[in-house]
Amino acid sequence: MSKKVSLASFNNSTYQIGAGFIKNMCWYLCNYLFFKSACPHYGLKVFLLKLFGAIIGSNVLIKPHVNIKYPWKLTIGSNVWIGEQVWIDNLDLVSIGSNVCISQGALLLCGNHNFKSENFDLITAPIILEDGTWIGAKGIVCGGITCRTHSILQVLSVATSNLEAYGIYKGNPAERVKERIIE
């Protein structure tokens, strides 16, 4: 027995972006012009994020072609590197600690849809990357996940559950493969 699903009834009416229409449209333009482009001006990017409500520490480097959904839902510590083509789809809060590396093409995805609902209702949950975390190239961190201090998500891996402190994880879904030892 199959049940037809109609996207005509798709509804996100309960979701709040946390900013008014004008602020959101201004951010959309800034994101397009300065973040999603090849703009190399790191200081300008940090300034713009702060202007739109992000909380950012010192020495934050944001490479070109980065997409950030809502800066007012973003906190970044100090000494953070965000690689090219990273997508921070922060429909909910994203907290990035200090000394964190988010490598090229990584995705931080706070949103999903309820497949049990005929309307595919939007589900959001925050993401926390604690101090010393490294998200490998094209790694994916799903909503509701905390990557504990100094954990590593290897290249092309998907974090669907919390990463333990000093754990190295790989695969889809990511599984702990060894302990991170810092010398």
Q: What is the pLDDT along the chain (183 residues), one digit of tens a residue?
A: 444 444 444 556 677 889 999 999 999 999 999 999 999 899 999 999 999 999 999 999 999 999 999 999 999 999 999 999 999 999 999 999 999 999 999 999 999 998 898 888 899 999 999 999 999 999 999 999 999 999 999 999 999 999 999 999 999 999 999 999 999
Q: Which CATH number fits domain 19-179: 2.30.40.10, 3.40.50.12780, 3.30.70.260, 2.160.10.10?
A: 2.160.10.10
Q: Report the length, in residues, of the chain.
A: 183
SS3 58: coil
Hunting for tokens 């201090």 — which residue is that?
149
Under 8 Å between Cβ of 180 and 163: no
The span from the CA of 143 to the CA of 149, in Å, is 18
Residue bearing tokens 């992000």: 54
Strand partners, 163: 147
